[in-house]
Amino acid sequence: MQNQNSTNEKIYKKGNSLPSGLIIRSGKFVWTALWHLMMSQLAPRNKSGEYIRPASQFRNFISTQPGNLYQPQSGRYRLFVGLGCPWAHRTLVVRSLKGLEDAISVTIVSPSPDEGIWILNQQQEGCRTLPQLYNLAQPGYKGRCTVPVLWDAQTKTIVNNESSEIILMLNSQFNEFATNPTLDLYPQELQEQIDRWNEKIYHTVNNGVYRCGFAQTQEAYERACNELFACLDEIDTVLETNRYLCGDKLTLADVRLFTTLFRFDIVYYGLFKCNRRRIQDYKNLGAYLRDFYQLPKVADTCDPESIKRDYYGSLFPLNPGGIIPCGPDLTNLMEPHHRESLGNKLAL
């Protein structure tokens, strides 16, 4: 008994003593210097420490225009996507909503935390990694090797690696092969309104969460965080009377918002410090997220475990311990949303 007590006392004393001031100061110095170095490679910034996303490099279009190299065809194109990535997720959602599963194939990629690159789950075109695929498309390619990638198996090249453009093509150029060709997510009469939402939401929400998480000064973080929540508050007000962003028709603006909202409580709230409020605590945004999630086939495109693994496991400078949180509880996603009465002109 006495022995046990003295062991406990030793452990208590050991656990109670802080590291010396010298260790704290040098640890802080080394860690901060390394953090700045890694962040400058991971997240390019401007003078005020604000994250600047590099522009996508492959910007060709698939269309039936005579003379265009990339004609719509079934079985010719392939999407490369990471399940954690919100930009790639947009393309999976539109592929599912339009019913293009048979026409456009998918290869999943997973991050290699040590190499900082995407690895193909199955080899394609003799490539094991995404940088190899980019190099096949453009030998000597030096830019970022990002997902999504829209690949053309015929010319062995990347048609496009910009999600906002890929979803436009999936929406309008493959109707011949789609099981749901009448669904138009970018109808002429709403294009101006959709573009306005896209512009605002890209800067403050889609990229806004990254501007919070990758900010390298307090001011840059606060600016991004204020803009993010101001926009979410505005959207919440609009969704009081609108089923979707542009009224009673689901559009590409909703798809682009959805993939960020889906990740919000899971990773952005904690890892990116977007913690003023959770989406599920907003009266309308929470129900809107559930409404979208419960659309046919959408839940199959969502993989919360990959999202947590990719963000917490791969963004080393933000989570050096590599611990992946257990929560949050996502059972609420299948609860009733009660938004049916706001109308629905969805051709699903």
Ligand X SMILES: N[C@@H](CCC(=O)N[C@@H](CS)C(=O)NCC(=O)O)C(=O)O
Catalytic positions are: 85, 210
Q: Which residue is it, tokens 């990959």?
A: 306
DSSP letter string, 315-329: -GGG-TT-PPP----
Among 39, 45, 51, 56, binds ligand X (CB under 6 A): 56
Among 39, 62, 83, 85, binds ligand X (CB under 6 A): 85
SS3 state of residue 109: strand
| 145 touches ligand X (CB under 6 A) | yes
| 284 touches ligand X (CB under 6 A) | no
CB of 26 vs ligand X, minimal distance in Å: 31
| 162 touches ligand X (CB under 6 A) | yes
| 87 touches ligand X (CB under 6 A) | yes
Amino acid at 256: R
CB of 270 vs ligand X, minimal distance in Å: 17
CB of 53 vs ligand X, minimal distance in Å: 6
| 148 touches ligand X (CB under 6 A) | yes
Q: Which tokens is 33 given?
A: 């210097």
**Residue closer to ligand X (CB basis): 163 or 301:** 163
Stretch that binds ligand X, among 17-25, 95-103, 156-164, 244-252 (CB under 6 A): 156-164
| 208 touches ligand X (CB under 6 A) | no
Q: Which tokens is 133 given?
A: 């695929």
- Give the span between the Cα atoms of 122 and 132, in whole angstroms: 13
| Measured distance between the N- and C-terminal CA atoms of the chain, rounded to whole angstroms | 72
How many H helices and E strands in the chain?
Answer: 11, 6
| 144 touches ligand X (CB under 6 A) | yes
Backbone angles phi, psi at 345, to 5 degrees: -110, 35
C-alpha to C-alpha distances, 37 to 27, 40, 215, nearest whole angstrom: 15, 5, 13
Stretch that binds ligand X, among 92-100, 155-163, 176-184, 239-247 (CB under 6 A): 155-163
Residues whose CB falls within 8 Å of the CB of residue 337, separated by 6 or more in sequence, listed in order: 287, 288, 290, 291, 294
Number of residues engaging ligand X in binding (CB under 6 A): 13
**Residue closer to ligand X (CB basis): 161 or 204:** 161
Instruction: Name the residues that contact ligand X, by CB under 6 A.
Output: 56, 82, 85, 87, 144-148, 161-164
